[in-house]
Amino acid sequence: MSVEERLRRLEDLEAIRALIASYRRALDEKDFEAYAELFGDDGEFIADGGVHARGREEILAMLADLQSKGALTVTAGDDRHLVANTEITLNGDTATSHSTWVYITRADKLEMVGRYIDTLRRTPDGWRFAKREAPRDI
């Protein structure tokens, strides 16, 4: 592997880690416009309970629905998502990622623990989620 290829690989890994961190931050800060922009134009989010959204408009609607049902707090600072154990596999302009997520609320309550299973792709705007699955384990 050439120095240029190794450098690009490291830059891609760091960009994907930054994407995952931006996701967590946007979700916790309730910046849903920024959250939706982390997905490709046709990106999709899938979670337990029949939660499924494709495209940014559906993703924004999904977040509003989760808040209205109490599955996501309304006020920034009332909950936190922790993401750990991230493993990334690069394959040119696509990648996969697996990580662990933990959701806690201000009431000092561990709400859920699960996994992210990501399919990512490089776009003109940088790395974006093509698909993010978030099954719950606990």
pLDDT at residue 70 in the model: 85
Residue ranges of the chain with per-residue pLDDT less than 70: 108
Residue 28 structure tokens: 């916790």
pLDDT at residue 1 in the model: 87
CATH number for the domain that contains residue 121: 3.10.450.50
pLDDT at residue 58 in the model: 97
pLDDT at residue 63 in the model: 96
Give yes or no for a contact between 81 and 24, defined as CB atoms under 8 angstroms apart.
Answer: yes
Task: Tell me whether strands 79-91 and 109-123 are parallel, antiparallel or unpaired.
Answer: unpaired
The predicted model scores a pTM of 0.94
pLDDT at residue 81 in the model: 94
Distance CA 130, CA 12 (A): 16
Which residue from 52, 50, 134 is spatially nearest to 98, judged by alpha carbons?
134
pLDDT at residue 109 in the model: 73
Strands laid side by side in the 51-54 sheet: 51-54, 39-47, 126-134, 109-123, 94-105, 79-91
Number of domains in the chain: 1
Q: Which residue range forms the structural domain that includes residue 22? A: 3-134
